Amino acid sequence: MQDFRKSYQSEMKKYPVSKALTRRALHRMKEEKEKRGRVKWIAVESIALVAVLSGGTVLAVQYNAFDEGPYRGHIPADQANISQVQENDELKVTMKGVAGDKWMAYLTFEVESPDGKPLMENSRYRRSNAARTAFQTATLNCEGENYTVTCLRIDDGSDPTRLTFEGSLFTHGKDLTGKKATLTLTNLKDDVTVWEDAGFQFDSLYELCEQAGLAGGDAFVRTGDFITYSDGTSAPSYMIKAGDKKIPFSSQFPNSYIDNVGIYEGGERLTSNGKRQVKWLYLSITPGNEEEAAALEKLTFQEIGSNRIMGEEQIQGTYPPGEKESSQDYQDKVAMQDGRVILGLSVHDETENGTATRDITENDLYRFRLVKNARSEEIIRKEGTWKFDFLMDFKTKERSVEVDQKVPVLDGEITVNHIYLSNFSLKISGIYSVDFMKKAPMKTEIIFQDGTEMDTGVKVGGGADLNTEKFEFEWMLPRGIDVDEVAAIRFFGTEFPLES
Amino acid sequence: MKQPLEQEPDWEEVLYRYQDMVYHLALVHTKSATDADDVFQEVFLRLVRKNSAFESEDHRKAWLIRTTLNCCNSFWNSAWKRRTVSMEECGDAIDIAHWGEGGVLELIDELPPRYRTVIHLFYYEDMPIEQIGRALKISYNAAAKRLSRARELLRKKLEGGTAYAGFSEELSK
């Protein structure tokens, strides 16, 4: 039997870097080094929360710093077992809490702008990506060993002068409980989306659609599969046909025009609605000349007011092969485009469980406009080093049970041998004789003594070995728990009581 | 406490250390030797232009991976036009008409780019999930989920074909 990793590596090595390419790159690097200049600091602009729309309507759009909602922390907000402040002229950092077990540790800290200047920006052409605000380095040193701390924002983004982070680190079984530790944070950095005005001549997409009129279903043609699911079903991919309209839309693209616009299905299937896909807006643009055609490819949608860029994923028909669709589908679409630029827009709502894609509506059209050249820029927002000495003030509580119980899964069964549970971690191991990893939905829940349940979420580690038929799966729990309050674990629908 | 890496390293040494990684990642995404060449040069130019030190080699590696992917995406945006370039114009490009024919590469080729990336980093670069997550600026959970989905897609493609040992090795490297 061939080894997958070795086969892949050996095939890939048939395509080495040519000496000529190395030489060219070195030459250009040398030239670049000689002409390089320093990057200038970019001033923070004020946050715009209101957008003026057509007909004199003033629509207040909630500024949401997170495109997909903030990350949820593992430590309760009221848990503050540490209170240390480190401050320089640039930034005040307050360390607030630590929790963990012998596999994971979580730290919370708040950063505040001492002069009240925003730590994020949201202006006409720039917008901070809150989910990517982070420290350039975050390291925990404990007993001479350094652990990289991954920092994620857990505030809701509503106060640009005060941000809250949760740092997490893997201790890989090394019990740091009660040990002295030092957390060192350096340079607060920001990821800013930058874009340019596209000379869009309408207040929003609504006015454009109103003038153009929406095309009917016969203006769309199925081109292939947008995505094929593991159960063999697929979500179709569609293309809007070229229309006969000639609607100028941008002062920057005077020779280009919108030839067709319509709303039709697209994207992934809605799981809650069987096989139905959501409705997208499709926009077909005929470039006036080659120069405009190249620039039109950089058009993208922006939400008015929040300034959120909707991203490249909404551009349809210009996908590379393999990005959501097959190579053949891509080639077909390119042929069908015949030089047109096709844009697709889908919308989603943020819910407690994440984002929920839904049909685009007429009201949504008021929310969007076209901009161009959106790109990401990483900047150092505040320079400095902030250091905290503290105790890893938590205790690992754990429960471990040998069960040796068979569990029916699909048309076979698996045997669960061992369950380990701690404050923040769950591990289940055993033996399998059915390909459950591929076919069975793996839902694992913790059942508490008071009858409440907690979904453990997506497993994060472990795997199944095809040769030995042994499996071991690991989960990072979505929040810390008291293992003494756990009554049972439910795995593939079977409950495993945890005896004290 | 670890010191940051030098701001002015030996560029030649850095290039030799990472050229294989950058080039192959670009090749996996662009599937074109000429595009991969362009991405390769652009990535190392951006490295020189970057005017701050990396905290560690891991940090530099993660930055190079992200920049390679960003450059690939930029190139793809205009790829459909560039594809009209004739084969003669490709110059000394390697022949990728037979790219991965019948092998593992062909299977990986059919995956969406985001899955190709994690499979490549995991199996070719031998990177653990935690490092993949850091490199792609996604959480550990997201990286693990992406890898798991990529492996699921691959496993489906492998059904009835060549059996590969080591494909199901533990994910928690």
pLDDT digits (tens, 9 = 90+) for A296-306: 888 888 887 77
What CATH code is assigned to A50-196+379-391? 2.60.40
Residue B95 confidence (pLDDT) above 70: no
Decide which of 1.10.10.10, 2.60.40.1730, 1.50.10.20, 2.60.40.2320 is the CATH code for A398-497: 2.60.40.2320
Inform me whether the C-beta atom of residue B103 falls under 8 Å from chain A C-beta atoms.
yes
List, for residues B30-47, the tens digit of each pLDDT value: 877 777 887 888 888 888
Q: Does residue A98 carry a pLDDT above 60?
A: yes
Write B133-139 long-range contacts (CB < 8 A, 24+). B133/A150, B134/A148, B134/A150, B134/B58, B134/B62, B135/B61, B135/B62, B135/B65, B135/B66, B136/B65, B136/B66, B136/B69, B137/A132, B137/B66, B139/A71, B139/A150, B139/A152
Where do the structural domains in chain A lie, given as residue ranges? 50-196+379-391, 205-366, 398-497
* B33 and B106 in a common domain: no
pLDDT in tens, A486-497: 999 998 888 999
Whole-number Å distance between alpha carbons of A84 and A388: 7
What ipTM score was computed for the predicted complex, to two decimals? 0.84
CA distance A124 to chain B (A): 23
Select the more confidently predicted residue: A156 or A453: A453
Is it the case that residue A54 has pLDDT exceeding 60? no
- Do B66 and B136 have their domain in common? no
Average pLDDT over residues A263-281: 76
Q: Is residue B165 part of a domain?
A: no
Question: Do both B81 and B110 map to the same domain?
Answer: no
Q: Looking at the structure, do residues B19 and B60 belong to the same domain, yes or no?
A: yes
Q: What is the pLDDT of residue A136?
A: 92
Q: Which of A19-28, A192-201, A331-340, A401-410 has the lowest mean pLDDT?
A: A331-340
Please list the residues that pair with A222 across neighbouring strands. A238
Residue A395 C-alpha, separation from nearest chain B C-alpha, in angstroms: 24
* A48 or A286, higher pLDDT: A286
Q: CB-side exposure of A254: number of CA atoms within 13 Å?
A: 1
Are the C-beta atoms of B143 and B133 separated by less than 8 Å? Answer: yes
Identify the H or E element spanning A180. strand A180-197
Tell whether B167 is covered by a domain. no
| Domain assignment present for B169 | no
CB atoms within 10 A of CB A213: 13
The CA–CA distances, whole Å, from A350 to A69, A263, A383, B17 equal: 7, 22, 33, 43
Give the residue from A417, A419, A373 showing the smallest Cα distance to A398: A419
Q: Please give the biggest Cα pair distance in chain A.
A: 76
CA distance B26 to chain A (A): 11
User: What range does the domain containing B54 cover?
Assistant: 1-88
CA distance A84 to A69: 28
Chain B: give the shortest CA distance to residue A466, in Å: 6
pLDDT > 50? residue A47: no
Of A188, A148, A20, A29, nearest in space to B9 by CA = A29
| A353 — pLDDT class (breaks 50, 70, 90) | low
Residue of B nearest to A339 (CA): B81
Closest alpha carbon to A101 in A2, A177, A207: A177
Residues B71 and B1 in one domain: yes
In chain B, what residues touch A230 (CB-CB under 8 Å)?
Answer: 152-153, 156
Give A478's pLDDT tier (boundaries 50, 70, 90): confident
pLDDT of residue A288: 92
pLDDT tens digits, A200-209 = 998 889 889 9
Of A168, A10, A162, the residue nearest A94 (C-alpha)? A162
Q: Please, is A338 exposed, middle or buried when counting C-beta atoms within 10 Å of its C-beta (0-12, 13-18, 19+)?
A: exposed
Asked if pLDDT for residue A53 goes beyond 80, the answer is no
Question: How far apart are the C-alpha atoms of B111 and B115, rounded to whole Å?
Answer: 6
Cβ distance of A39 and B51 shorter than 8 Å: yes
Pick the residue of B104, B119, B162 with the most A CBs within 10 A to test the interface with A by mutation.
B104
* CATH code, B150: 1.10.10.10
Sign of CA dihedral B28, B29, B35, B41: negative
Highest mean pLDDT among A96-100, A305-309, B92-96: A96-100
pLDDT (mean) for A333-348: 80
Residue whose structure tokens are 């190395």: A22
B80 shares its domain with B127: no
Instruction: Name which residue leads in pLDDT, A460 or B169.
Output: A460
Asked whether residue A465 carries a pLDDT value surpassing 50, the answer given is yes
- What per-residue confidence (pLDDT) applies to A49? 19
| Matching fold, domains A50-196+379-391 and A398-497 | yes
Q: For residue B21, name the pLDDT band (cuts at 50, 70, 90).
A: very high
Whether residue B172 lies inside any domain: the answer is no
Cα separation values, A272 from A232, A358, A492, Å:
18, 11, 21
> Residue A60's pLDDT band (boundaries 50, 70, 90)?
very low
Query: What is the length of chain B?
Result: 173
Contact B157, B163 (CB under 8 A): no
Does residue B170 form part of some domain? no
- Alpha-carbon span B23 to A18, nearest angstrom: 10
**Strand, helix or coil for residue A282:** strand
Same domain as B19, residue B83 = yes
B6 plus B47 within the same structural domain: yes
Place of tokens 């015949």: A338
pLDDT of residue A61: 34
Last residue of a domain, one of B33, B60, B88: B88
A271's CB contacts (< 8 A; 6+ apart) are none
On whether both B10 and B80 belong to a single domain, the answer is: yes
CATH number reported for the structural domain that contains residue B48 in this entry: 1.10.1740.10
Minimum mean pLDDT range among A43-57, A146-160, A226-240: A43-57
- Higher pLDDT pick, A232 / A250: A250
> In this model, does residue A143 exceed pLDDT 80?
yes
* Ramachandran quadrant class, A343 (left: phi over 0; alpha: psi -120 to 50; beta: rest): beta
- B166 lies in a domain? no
Q: What is the pLDDT of residues A106-133, one digit of tens each?
A: 999 999 998 888 898 888 788 888 888 8
Average pLDDT over residues A153-160: 85
Residue A64 has pLDDT above 90, yes or no: no
- Which residues, in sequence order, are CB contacts of B9 under 8 Å at separation 6+? none
List % helix, strand, coil for chain A (3-state, nearest 5): 15, 45, 40
In a domain, B124, yes or no: yes
The band of A380, judged by pLDDT with boundaries at 50, 70 and 90, is very high
Smallest Cβ–Cβ distance between A1 and the set B49, B139, B165 belongs to: B165
Give me the pLDDT at residue A332, please.
Answer: 67
Nearest to A297 among B37, B77, B103 (CB): B77
Query: Has residue A317 got a pLDDT over 50?
Result: no
Nearest to A229 by CA among A181, A268, A178: A268
Q: How far apart are CA A318 and CA A403, in angstroms?
A: 53
What is the rounded average pLDDT of the residues B79-107?
47
Tell me the mean pLDDT in the region A185-201: 93
How many whole angstroms separate alpha carbon B16 and alpha carbon A134? 30
Percentage of chain A modeled with pLDDT above 90: 30
The total number of structural domains that make up chain B? 2
Query: B40 and B8 share a domain?
Result: yes
Report chain A's mean pLDDT, rounded to a whole number: 80
User: Quick one: B75 and B111 in the same domain?
Assistant: no
The whole-number average pLDDT for the span A147-171 is 88
Residues of A in contact with B103 (CB under 8 A): 7, 11
